[in-house]
Structure 1
Amino acid sequence: MKCILPSLCLLAGLSACRTTQLPVPAYLQKNARSQQQWQLIWEDNFNGSTLDTTKWTRIPPNGADWGKHMTSDDRCYVLKDGYLYLRGINNPDTTKDPRPFLTGGIYSKGKFAFQYGKVEIRAKLECAQGAWPAIWMLAENNKYGAYPRNGEIDIMEHLNYDSIIYQTTHSYYTLDLKQTQNPPHGGTAALLNNEFNVFGINWSPDKIVFLINGRETFTYPRVEGVDPSQWPYDQPFYLLIDQQLGGTWVGKVNPDDLPVQMIVDWVKVYQ
């Protein structure tokens, strides 16, 4: 159930509500939530034949390392049998688009955002040299200014043929002030290669707990007595899910390894 009011409210026993005060309707969770059971507030099971554009947008190309091959090309998006296939492919026609590779990704920017709660995504990651699938979150609004002041939550990043994922937070505090160990801003976790895994976080006003297959793997706490930029995670964030290719961190792409896919089964958000 949802309530759509111009201010915070209660949802039939839930300490959360959907508010239209913000430019984008966002689900805001109130305090003392730990005393209640989780309630599903938003999901997509990808059961249709086309992407639900009330929830998602195909990520356009951008100048960042992760986004330079993003495309809306249908060849990078397949919905079949209840799965979304986000593909990284060799560009079949560089006369129209000079980029050597094309990649698919979706985000909920402008359509869905939430502040605190639990999000889980069930997905299978295929491997390739230069493959960089990611599930992550960015702030819906510029509460504190330009990136990275509003923070970034990387629920999962996978590189090449690794048997681990990276789970990380980024912010002005970690990137500009170089405070990556006070507290540690990221960790790694083992995954089941070539199988479905459930990636997620449990996000509250004082910490972000990272998860894989229901197991807690790393916690990023809010710390007192440090620069306030350490905790920009007090505002609504939206979701990004993308099959990235190439970049400084992951390295060069081997075209012979393509196509490569991230196969998404479902996305669920609880408060």
Structure 2
Amino acid sequence: MALFASSKYPKTAKYEADQKKLIADSARFTSYLGSDELKRVKELEILINSSDFKKKVDKLKNEKFKDTTEYRQLKKFQEQKKSSEFKKYFKFQASGMPERLKQIENSPKRDELSQLSELIRSSEFLSEKKQKGFKKTESYKKLKQFKTLSKDADIKLYNKQIKSAAYKNFLNIHDSERLKTYHGLEQEVTSEKFIEFKNWMEDKKKFHKSEEYSLIQEYNNLLKSPDYIWYVKTEKNNSFDLINKWELCFEDEFNSNQLDKNKWITGYYWGKALLNKTYVLENEKQFFNDNNISIDGSGASINTKNEETKGLVWDTQRGFMPKDFKYTSGIISTGQSHRQLYGKIEAKVKIQHSRPVSSAFWMVGESMAPQIDIFRFESKNAKTFKSGLQLLNGKGVELHSKDIKGANFESDYFVYSMEWSKNKIIWYINGVKVNEQNNNIPNQPMYLVFSSHITQEIDTLKSPASINVKWVKCYQKKK
């Protein structure tokens, strides 16, 4: 962090900018948690890292066509097609001979020849053939007709082919289960689906054309998304716990032209709330005057000055007593509007210090102690203030405080913070821890007070004193 040359604390402007950025980043982080982009990243992450997806990718990258069932089908088909039997079968079939032979077999002259053949083999014909005058008989004419038909080119072709090896091979394969298998394989391997699959499997770039590759590319591109890179880095830092554990329960930015009387009262709570009186304690040399509280639309100021006035002092023996005062100052508190037990309190404040004025930001409950001093300036200059607790013991007020140094607190606004829990209180300046108390932790609701006091006898204030408050905020831990 960039530091003042004379300060061990971050610059207030930078601290506030960092806090605003942290809040904005938290909103952005929360928004991104519900985004479609992150949802898609998570979906793809699960899918791509699944065993089924990895198997698919491995298969796409490494499986060859020869490793598939389809390749084995094609191989079987090709082996059958190249076999001698099937080659002869298809050659014989392609010649048209089977159809020619069938035509001859079913032709009238084939039927006539068959009838004549049966006739000349009959006993009656053989007996008649032995008798004289056979050549003048009708049976002789039948014999001559038989011989003529037997020499017919179609009949001779038919008789020759049905005795051939090619025809016998044809009959052996035709209508066989092997041929049915062959045609089934042929139909399969010549189908558009099969050819597309074969081309796909033999494509060396098939993985890069696959849906799986597209999903991996989509996932990798999403991982390079600026929003996702920011999300991963931010999630790893896990810095939002510092702000997400708190919820705002009170604030005032003093951005109007007058003090918000619904939030603040201008006097000690016990007088204003119960008696509608403004008073000071018997050891105080100043009196509280509302005119010493100014609001300019960008902050509130409590001013202490040389000014004569009259007012009431609370005397423990005699009660309220009138008194003349040489000094006036102011006080504002949330005694009637906001009290809290534990939480985080912070305010952006600039001090104009003039000893012996005690300028303080503190918290108190129903009695004057215990008190939590977030800051109390009462040293000789504004380079030191006290933070701590004021407790009651049998003899009176007991201080448990620490001197805080490290900057000239008049030089700039600083954010003074206090985190209060059941077991400890921690004080911060611009986010830097400056004090911690672990004992005698107050356990009652308290309200906020800004005030300036003079408790020493002096002739005059040598310079003005003021508490300038830009804003104040109170938080409770989220349930």
Which is greater in Rg?
2
Question: Does structure 2 retain, via aligned residues, the 8 Å contact 1:129–1:254?
Answer: no
Deviation, structure 1 residue 193: 2.6
Residue matched to 1:256: 462
Structure 2: distance between partners of 1:35 and 1:88: 36
Shift in Å, 1:73: 3.5
1:236-256 CA deviation, whole Å, 9 max, x = no partner? 000110122x214xx736433
Letter of the 1:109 partner, please give it.
Answer: G
Within 2, Cα distance between the matches of 1:175 and 1:46? 40
Aligned pairs for 1:30-45 (under 5 A) are 37-45=245-253
Q: Offset of 1:94 from its aligned partner?
A: 6.6
TM-score by length of 1: 0.70
| Alpha-carbon offset, residue 81 of structure 1 | 3.5
**Partner of 1:51 in structure 2?**
259
Separation in structure 2 between the aligned mates of residue 34 and residue 199 of structure 1, nearest angstrom: 16
Pick closer, same or farther for the CA change 1:35–1:133 going to 2, 3 Å: closer
Pair 1:94–1:35, CA change in 2 (3 A): closer
Cα distance in structure 2, aligned partners of 1:147 and 1:126: 26
Partner SS, residue 193 of structure 1: coil
* Contact residue 188 and residue 217 of structure 1 kept, 8 A: no
Distance 2:416 2:394 in 1: 23
Q: Secondary structure at the match of 1:91?
A: strand
Shift of 1:210: 1.3
Name 2:401's counterpart in structure 1: 186
Please state which structure has a larger fraction of its residues in helix: 2
In structure 2, what is the equivalent of residue 118 of structure 1?
344
| Aligned match of 1:77 | 293
Do structure 1's residue 169 and structure 2's residue 389 form an aligned pair?
Answer: yes
Equivalent residues of 1:61, 1:68 under 8 A apart: no
SS at match of 1:123: strand
Work out the CA distance in 1 between the residues paired with 2:335 and 2:401: 24
Could you say if the C-alpha distance between residues 35 and 92 of structure 1 is closer, same or farther in structure 2, counting changes exceeding 3 Å? closer
In the alignment, is residue 157 of structure 1 matched against residue 376 of structure 2? yes
Q: Which runs of 5+ in 2 are unaligned?
A: 1-240, 268-277, 312-321
| Alpha-carbon distance change, 117 to 93 in structure 1, aligned in 2, over 3 angstroms | closer
What is the number of equivalent residue pairs in this alignment? 213
2:308–2:328: 8 Å Cα contact kept in structure 1? no
SS at the partner of 1:120? strand
Structure 1 residues 36 and 197, CA gap change in structure 2 (3 angstroms) = closer
Is 2:418 the partner of 1:201? yes
- Give the secondary structure class of the aligned counterpart of 1:99: strand
**In structure 1, C-alpha distance between the alignment counterparts of 2:443 and 2:309, rounded to whole Å:** 44
Q: Distance in 1 between matches of 2:323 and 2:396?
A: 35
What is the one-letter code of the residue matched to 2:348? R
Query: Which residue of the other structure, out of 444, 454, 462, is the alignment partner of 1:235?
Result: 444
Matched, 1:104 2:330: yes
C-alpha separation in 1, matches of 2:452 and 2:346: 17
The ranges of structure 1 where at least 4 consecutive aligned residues each deviate by more than 6 angstroms after the TM superposition are 94-97
Query: Aligned equivalents of 2:282 and 2:417: distance in 1?
Result: 24
- 1:268 correspondence with 2:476: no
- 2: distance between equivalents of 1:100 and 1:35? 46
Question: Residue 206 and residue 52 in structure 1: after superposition, are their counterparts in 2 closer, same or farther (change >3 A)?
Answer: same
1:35 Cα offset (Å): 11
Indicate the SS of the match to 2:251.
strand
Q: Aligned residue for 1:61?
A: 279
Query: Structure 1 residue 68: deviation in Å?
Result: 4.5
User: Unpaired segments of 5 or more residues in structure 1?
Assistant: 1-32, 223-229
Contact 1:55 1:112 in 2 (8 A): yes
Work out the CA distance in 1 between the residues paired with 2:248 and 2:294. 26
The letter for the 1-side match of 2:449 is L
Contact 2:346 2:415 in 1 (8 A): yes
CA distance in 2, matches of 1:176, 1:221: 21
* Cα distance in structure 1, aligned partners of 2:330 and 2:286: 8
- Deviation of the 1:162 alpha carbon: 3.5
Aligned to 2:147: none
**What whole-Å deviation, never above 9, does each CA across 1:162-219 have from its counterpart, x for those lacking one?**
40110020112496596x6xxxx22121243321111121000111111222111111
| Contact 2:306–2:460 (Cα < 8 Å) also in 1 | no
Deviation per residue, 1:115-136 (Å, 9 max, x gap) = 1100001110002132210000
Letter in 2 for 1:252: I
Q: Which has the higher strand share?
A: 1
